[in-house]
């Protein structure tokens, strides 16, 4: 990792919109099950950015792809890690906005169990139930990072929030925010 590069909350990487990728958990049953199955300390991931000095989240949750208040999200969730991204998001902004309102990929989450089973046997199996018109959180975040040129190794439908977080910890295009 480039140690000379430090987080600067005043910096912007897209026309006044500052992007980060964050990872979180909460005390709910779904978060607990995800963390237990993936043997992880995180269960969710998202993009964060500021518009008009208001911190917002762009993420896929059980209601689908949405934008919401980061402050309201933080009331019910614990942010475990957040990374400033040294990536130009301009090429994907329109596609991200088109995906607002897309449904949650419940089938893809079930298919992710197949991917995890493959890992137990030392195999890299594709997610057989992933839907092209729906997203779950890590699938969406890794897809847009790949579209921006980030070298995420696993297919978007085969990555968990924990795998993505561990990848960003080693990426020279991500800087962990303390």
Domain residue spans in the chain?
20-176
Residue 69 and residue 47 in contact, taking contact as beta carbons nearer than 8 Å: no
Determine the pLDDT at residue 4.
Answer: 43
**Strand 44-51 with 78-85, pairing:** unpaired
If you average pLDDT over every residue of the chain, what do you get? 86
| Confidence band, pLDDT 50/70/90 cuts, at residue 2 | very low
Which two structure tokens, joined as six digits, stand for 160?
């968990």
Determine the pLDDT at residue 12.
Answer: 45
Determine the pLDDT at residue 88.
Answer: 82
**Strand 64-69 with 78-85, pairing:** unpaired
Determine the pLDDT at residue 59.
Answer: 96
Pairwise CA distance, residues 166 & 159, whole Å: 11
Dump pLDDT digits (tens) for 47-92.
Answer: 998 888 889 999 999 999 999 999 999 999 999 999 999 888 888 8
The whole-model pTM stands at 0.84
| CATH 3.90.1720.10 is held by the domain 20-176 | yes
Residue 64 and residue 143 in contact, taking contact as beta carbons nearer than 8 Å: no
Determine the pLDDT at residue 19.
Answer: 86
Determine the pLDDT at residue 119.
Answer: 82
Mean pLDDT of 125-134: 87
Q: Which helix (H) or strand (E) holds 47?
A: strand 44-51
Token pair 């995180």 in the structure block, residue: 42
Mean pLDDT of 30-40: 90
Number of Cβ within 10 Å of residue 143's Cβ equals: 20
Residue 136: HSE in the Cβ half-sphere, 13 Å Cα cutoff: 22
The listed range with the strongest mean pLDDT (6-20, 62-76, 113-127) is 62-76
| Confidence band, pLDDT 50/70/90 cuts, at residue 7 | very low
**Closest by Cα among 97, 63, 62, 59 to 79:** 59
Pairwise CA distance, residues 67 & 24, whole Å: 16
């Amino acid at each position: 990792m480039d140690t000379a590069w430090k987080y600067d909350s005043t910096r912007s990487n897209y026309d006044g919109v500052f992007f980060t990728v964050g990872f979180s958990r909460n005390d709910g049953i779904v978060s607990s099950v995800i963390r237990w199955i993936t043997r992880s300390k995180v269960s969710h991931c998202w993009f964060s950015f500021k518009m008009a000095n208001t911190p917002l989240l762009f993420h896929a949750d059980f209601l689908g792809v949405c934008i919401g208040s980061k402050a309201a999200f933080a009331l019910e969730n614990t942010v475990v890690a957040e990374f400033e991204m040294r990536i130009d998001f301009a090429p994907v902004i329109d596609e991200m906005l088109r995906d607002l309102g897309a449904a949650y990929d419940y089938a893809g989450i079930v298919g992710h169990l197949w991917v995890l089973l493959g890992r137990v046997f030392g195999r890299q199996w594709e997610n057989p139930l992933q839907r092209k018109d729906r997203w779950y959180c890590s699938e969406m975040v890794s897809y847009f990072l790949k579209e921006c040129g980030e070298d995420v190794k696993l297919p978007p439908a085969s990555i968990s929030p924990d795998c993505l977080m561990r990848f960003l910890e080693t990426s020279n295009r991500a800087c962990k925010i303390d």
